[in-house]
Every structure is written in structure tokens, then in C-alpha cells.
Structure 1
Amino acid sequence: MLAQIVLFDGFDPLDVVAPFEVLAAGSDALGGTLDVKLVSAEGSRTVVSGTRGLTLEASASLDPSSSGIIVVPGASGPINADPEEVDTIPVLLARVGETPLPALITQALANPEITVATVCGGSLALAMAGVLEGRNAVTHFQGMDVLDATGVNAIDARVVDDGNLVTAAGVTSGLDLGLYLLERQFGPRIALSVEQLFQYERRGVVWRNTGAEPLAV
């Protein structure tokens, strides 16, 4: 099984590295049966993050036909600066819509053997590109209104499981996302072994569109 973590220009490094390390540790616990790669929509290349010019290497092109997991991060940078002078997070996320990534993710969502996951602004990038209309998702709290405006049902939770789409909130939730994906795919013993290794306990309840509807109190 393949876990592909997507890099795009201006990505947030922690959105990438947190799930990468969790999934890689899960692969070790599984005996290496989960292959974890950094990829990009454009293929093998050096990709510059939005944080102090830090770079990571995409080793391959994103493949929407390979069964497994695809993780889309958010962007890092200023929010309120002049977008004519500085690449703000909204500008970086909007630019994702001009790349091949939305079309590739659309293909992936149509593949029953793939789970698409996002961290922080990753869901915003896909939503603004028109990929997530009508879905349940979460993003960083500062972008929830934008997510709602794109036709997404914005859920205030740490992690939201909407079937083949699993989204996580702010930047540190990439740890929670990775651990939940391990549990969902391989069971709680694998996820717990990585929690113990990292000395980190997941936060919050994973939201699913099941069970009783709570009454307003």
C-alpha cells in the first residue's frame, strides 16, 4: 500500500512532516508494507515551502490510481500582509487551483481504493478549487468561514471522517490525522504502538456522520 504526501509551492513543513513521520513509523510497525513517499502534481522536483525557504524533495508524481492514502497539506506564510508584495497563505492556497493537483485529487476521490486526507489549509486549497463541494470537512479555525462559503459543510472537530475524505484542523493535527489513518487502515494496535513511540496522545473525538443528532442545550 502507498501513502503519498503531496508537496506544492508554499506548503507548510509541519503539515507534511508530522503525518510523514507517523505513517513511516506505522510502516515500520507493519514490517514495511506501507510505502510512504513525498510527491508532487508535477513530478520529481525540489519544492520550496512557505517557511523560511525550507525545501523538500518530491520523489515522484502523484498517482491517483495507486491504492492507499493521499495527504494534502496546507500552506505557511503571513495571512494579513499585502498580497501584491508577499505570498500570503490565501494566495498560496488559491494557486493550488491553477496546478494539476485538483484534477488529480478528483480522480483519486473517484477511486474506491484511495483515501484522500488533508491537514490544515489542505482542505481549503481543494475546496477553493471546487473539489469538495457538498462534503464534510474541517480546516484551520481561521479558514472555516471560507470553507463554508465554498459549499463544504464545515465541521468544528479535530479530525473529520467523511468516508474517502479525512480532514484535520490546525497544523499540529497532522499527528492526529496520521494516527487515525493508521488505526482506520491497520487497527488500533498499530496506532497505539506509534502513539507510545512518539509519546503523544491523540486529541479530540473523530467526527463521523453517524449516530444520534445532539439536541441544542
Structure 2
Amino acid sequence: MHVQIVLFDGFDPLDVIAPFEVLYAGGTASDGAVTVELVSAEGPREVVSGTGGLALRAGAALDPHRAGLVLVPGASGRVGGPDETPGEQPAAGERKQDDSIPVLLGRTLKTPLPALLEKAMAHPQVTVATVCGGSLVLAMAGLLEGRYATTHHLGLDMLDATGVHAVSARVVDD
């Protein structure tokens, strides 16, 4: 099985690194039956997370036709609006502090990512999974309407607002 973990500007590093480590270890233990790579909608590039300017390198473009798993992380940033930390300036290499999680997730809609995820979801040999707020990327792109999904408890109302049946649970399989 091949796993593509999607990076986008403002991604949450924990949502990427933890699954990467577990899946990589699974590949090692299974003599390569599981492979994992970091990808972005735009192709190979440095992608800045929403945490302290930490950047990871996407080694390839997301391939929505490649059989396996596509994993979409959530974003890391402020929960509220820009008025919560007035006057705060970003350090060198950091994202602007007024980037809230909904804004970071919403910016993915202006990239090729939604169209690529739609193609992946339509492919019968591709499973699309999300971590935390990653489900909001799919929901805001209109890809989960009428389906069941979950996210961080602070984002459940956003799921509902997009026509998703929000479930208060750790895991939803739909």
C-alpha cells in the first residue's frame, strides 16, 4: 500500500509526522509492503506549517490516481480571530499570527488541492482519510456533503454548516 500525506501551507506538523512515523515503521516491519511520501497539490516544494515556521519538503505532487491512501492533515494556528493577540508580529520564517485555523484551511480551496481530492475520492482504489481538521478541507470543498465525518470538537459546527453529518467521535468510517 502506498500512502500520500498531503502538505499545505499552515498544516499541523503533528498530524503529518505522527502518521508518517507509524506508516514508515509499518513499511519497515513489512519489508516494504507500506510506502509513504509527503506530497503537495503543487508538487515538490518546501511547505511551511502553522507551527513556528517549521517547514517540511513535499517530494512529489499528489497523484489522485495512485492506488492506496491519501491522508489530509488539519491545520495548526489560532482558534480565534486576529483580535485575540493584538500587536503580535511573526518571527522570521513564521506565518502571520492572524492566520486562524479556519482561514488556513480555507486557503486550500484556492489551490489545486480540492480538485485533486475530488479525483482521489472518485477513484475506487484510493482511500481518502483525514486527521483532525483535515475533514474540514474536504467539507469546505463540498466533497463531504451528506456524508458522516468528524473533526476537533471546535470544528463540528463548521462541518454541519457545509452539509456534513457531524459526528462527535474519534473515528468515522464513511
Do the structures match in fold with TM over 0.5? yes
CA distance, structure 2, for counterparts of residue 95 and residue 126 of structure 1: 12
Matched, 1:143 2:166: no
Output the TM-score relative to the length of structure 1. 0.72
1:21 aligned partner: 21
Structure 2: where are the runs of 5+ without partners?
Answer: 84-95
CA contact (8 A) 1:39 1:62 kept: yes
CA contact (8 A) 1:97 1:126 kept: no
Residue-pair matches, total:
162
| TM-align CA RMSD | 1.3
Alignment of 1:170-209 (within 5 A): none
Match for 1:35: what amino acid? T
2:139 aligned partner: 127
Q: CA deviation at 1:81?
A: 3.1
Cα-to-partner distance string for 1:140-164 (whole Å, 9 max, x where unaligned): 00000110110111111111111xx
Match for 2:100: what amino acid? T
2:121 aligned partner: 109
Q: Partner of 2:5: helix, strand, or coil? A: strand
1:57 aligned partner: 57
Match for 2:149: what amino acid? A
CA contact (8 A) 2:40 2:60 kept: yes
Matched, 1:158 2:170: yes
1:32 aligned partner: 32
CA distance, structure 2, for counterparts of residue 141 and residue 148 of structure 1: 12
CA distance, structure 1, for counterparts of residue 114 and residue 26 of structure 2: 28
Q: Partner of 1:31: helix, strand, or coil? A: coil
Q: Partner of 2:172: helix, strand, or coil? A: strand
Poorly superposed stretches of 4+, deviation over 6 Å: none
Name the CA shift for 1:3/1:85 in 2 (closer, same or farther; >3 Å): closer
CA contact (8 A) 2:78 2:97 kept: no
Q: Partner of 1:95: helix, strand, or coil? A: helix
CA contact (8 A) 1:97 1:129 kept: yes
Match for 2:158: what amino acid? V
Structure 1: where are the runs of 5+ without partners?
Answer: 163-217
